[in-house]
Chains A and B, each alone.
Chain A
């Protein structure tokens, strides 16, 4: 069972996040002081550290710098206050692997933790999951809610590009270029045909459309 260190000095927020992460199936140790975090980070073997920047007795950044200075390479996700861009930059400079912004969305936090765990395991699996859809780029197969999702080659390429660039609009021109196979330009409505077919198979809401902007997969990578 993955073990997490959670550093959060707020008496309400800390326990709430710990509870939520425990429900996700993690073992969570909660600390409220910077010096305690440093001691725990040195002695115990955690899979991911979640550090709030504003900690008493040693800020999250100081703790992070000292741990990194001692060669401790445990993945660290820094929790920063809203919109304080300089804090984020400072966090990444100090050796953080990722950051989340308060107020923390627990689903997003869970996704970031999963991502760090995957990296820690060094599992270079060539797959990507957004919402109910999992793509295996190497095997060129897709699943929907764990069930095989049969896709044509064009549909797979369109879906793969949209998922790689999720949460941004991908223009129709970019999708057409993706479908260009070196000899034949795609027919003018190939993209539309692929999209409407994908929507039929996955569900209408998985792919957003905006005329003039293109298409977008709105979900977040899990």
Chain B
């Protein structure tokens, strides 16, 4: 995952930066400590030479031209100095003249003969020097040290530190990764909770169930849900109003057509009938739209339903509506079949499918309905002897306003209403070829709610 990689990279970079800063600080601290050491060395030398100077060693030596008088520093003093500051060379000047020096070190002419800390190069090495004007004597003491000797090597320390540092880094990466993963799993849980929702389910999420850091997301989602719900209600109300308003003029047209039918001469009777059936079709369309709009807002109930009885009601209504057309209908089995579901929704689906089949059965005049109850599902199959539907078109017909190849009085909404109702029931609708000869078979499958 991208986020993990980015966060881990960031963590590694931070660790590196902290290391670098620590290194620079340590280096500077070491350098300062070395300077302090240099200053201490100069002070020690100064102290060591106090007595000799007081005894007038230099004054005497000055008179002795060859310069082989008493030394300013006794051998013991020099040894003591070298024991403490083995990496420091020194040189002592009196009025600009070299009067004492260590037995080794950079050539004296290269030494900066000024008080304070200086850096110079000699014999290819970098040196650090400290010049000190003795307070009680006119001596200039210069102490110098190679850079290489000053640099207290950080290498071994770093090597020692590396393992615990790496362990710490790895551990924090692990902790971070786990924390991230845990937080992200909450996000994933939220996503799957929302995915599992039906379109109509716009209940706000409960903020207590989610981690505190997800609160802004949960709040935002709840606000979105509220807005969606408002939009839904508006759409619902709009469809409802439109359908209602359209219905009244249609009712007027229908009533006028019926009046006309009674008064008109025989010759135009058929035309008036056609007018009436056109109005009925428009009404069916409005009913269908209203039904689809309302299905969205339907609360699904569940109780034990006599599906056989429901089929009987629906077939009765459909046959009465179809008129005396000699449709042969059969239902198996002949007895009550009970199933736990929402009766109203199932009736909507059955009406749509059976109404559709009866309209098409007019061509073949036969309708076969079978209820097959299994342990965990109930299938209601409705077969007609119509021309059937080519496999490629079946999916299309489950959508809104799609008609089959035959002109029918259908609104084009029947199968999409059935499909919607079945979805709400947690079931499915399937259109297929009849196995026993030509015709369409619509299979409504309800699953047991326990499974």
Does B313 belong to the interface (CB within 8 Å)? yes
A-B pairs, 8 with minimum CB distance? A205-B324, A212-B331, A12-B252, A103-B251, A16-B255, A211-B330, A210-B329, A13-B252
24 CB-based A-B contacts, threshold 8 Å: A10-B248, A13-B255, A19-B255, A19-B259, A20-B259, A82-B290, A102-B247, A103-B250, A103-B251, A104-B255, A105-B254, A106-B258, A167-B317, A168-B312, A168-B313, A204-B326, A210-B330, A210-B331, A212-B330, A212-B331, A212-B334, A213-B311, A213-B312, A218-B324
Known: A16-B256, A19-B259. A213 touches B249 (CB 8 A): no
Residue of A nearest to B243 (CB): A82
| B290:A212 contact, CB within 8 angstroms | no
Q: How far is the CA of A12 from the CA of B312 in the complex (A)?
A: 38
Does B262 belong to the interface (CB within 8 Å)? yes
| B247:A212 contact, CB within 8 angstroms | no
Contact of A169 among B249, B263, B312 (CB under 8 A): B312
Does A23 belong to the interface (CB within 8 Å)? yes
- In the complex, which residues of chain A have a beta carbon less than 8 angstroms from the beta carbon of B26? none
| A12:B331 contact, CB within 8 angstroms | no
Name 20 extra pairs, CB < 8 A, besides A104-B255, A167-B317, A204-B324: A10-B248, A17-B255, A19-B256, A19-B259, A23-B263, A103-B250, A103-B251, A103-B279, A104-B251, A105-B254, A106-B255, A169-B312, A204-B326, A209-B329, A210-B312, A210-B330, A211-B329, A211-B330, A212-B331, A213-B311
- Mask, B118-147, CB within 8 Å of A = 1, is 000000000000000000000000000000
Does B158 belong to the interface (CB within 8 Å)? no
- Mask, A198-222, CB within 8 Å of B = 1, is 0000001100111111101010000
Does A83 belong to the interface (CB within 8 Å)? yes
Q: How many residues of B contact A (CB 8 A)?
A: 39
Interface residue ranges of A148-192 to B (CB < 8 Å): 167-169, 171
Q: How far is the CA of A103 from the CA of B287 in the complex (A)?
A: 11
Does B31 belong to the interface (CB within 8 Å)? no
Which residues of B does A touch, CB under 8 Å? 243-244, 247-256, 258-259, 262-263, 279, 283, 287, 290, 294, 311-313, 315-317, 319-320, 324, 326, 328-334, 369
| A167:B315 contact, CB within 8 angstroms | no
| B258:A210 contact, CB within 8 angstroms | no
| A103:B316 contact, CB within 8 angstroms | no
Give the shortest distance, in Å, between B177 (CB) and chain A (any CB).
58
Prevailing SS type, chain B contact patch:
helix
Q: How far is the CA of A213 from the CA of B335 in the complex (A)?
A: 9
Give the shortest distance, in Å, between A55 (CB) and chain B (any CB).
13
Residue of A nearest to B280 (CB): A103
Give the shortest distance, in Å, between B370 (CB) and chain A (any CB).
9
Does A30 belong to the interface (CB within 8 Å)? no
Q: How far is the CA of A209 from the CA of B366 in the complex (A)?
A: 12
Q: How far is the CA of A167 from the CA of B328 in the complex (A)?
A: 17
Q: How far is the CA of A169 from the CA of B263 in the complex (A)?
A: 35
- In the complex, which residues of chain A have a beta carbon less than 8 angstroms from the beta carbon of B334? 171, 212
| B333:A82 contact, CB within 8 angstroms | no
Q: How far is the CA of A23 from the CA of B256 in the complex (A)?
A: 12
Contact of B254 among A10, A103, A213, A216 (CB under 8 A): A103
- In the complex, which residues of chain B have a beta carbon less than 8 angstroms from the beta carbon of A19? 255-256, 259
Residue of A nearest to B334 (CB): A212
- In the complex, which residues of chain B have a beta carbon less than 8 angstroms from the beta carbon of A216? 316, 319
Q: How far is the CA of A188 from the CA of B41 in the complex (A)?
A: 133
Q: How far is the CA of A63 from the CA of B122 in the complex (A)?
A: 120
Does A144 belong to the interface (CB within 8 Å)? no
Does A128 belong to the interface (CB within 8 Å)? no
Q: Which of A13, A102, A168, A171 has the most CB of B within 10 A?
A: A13
- In the complex, which residues of chain B have a beta carbon less than 8 angstroms from the beta carbon of A168? 312-313, 316
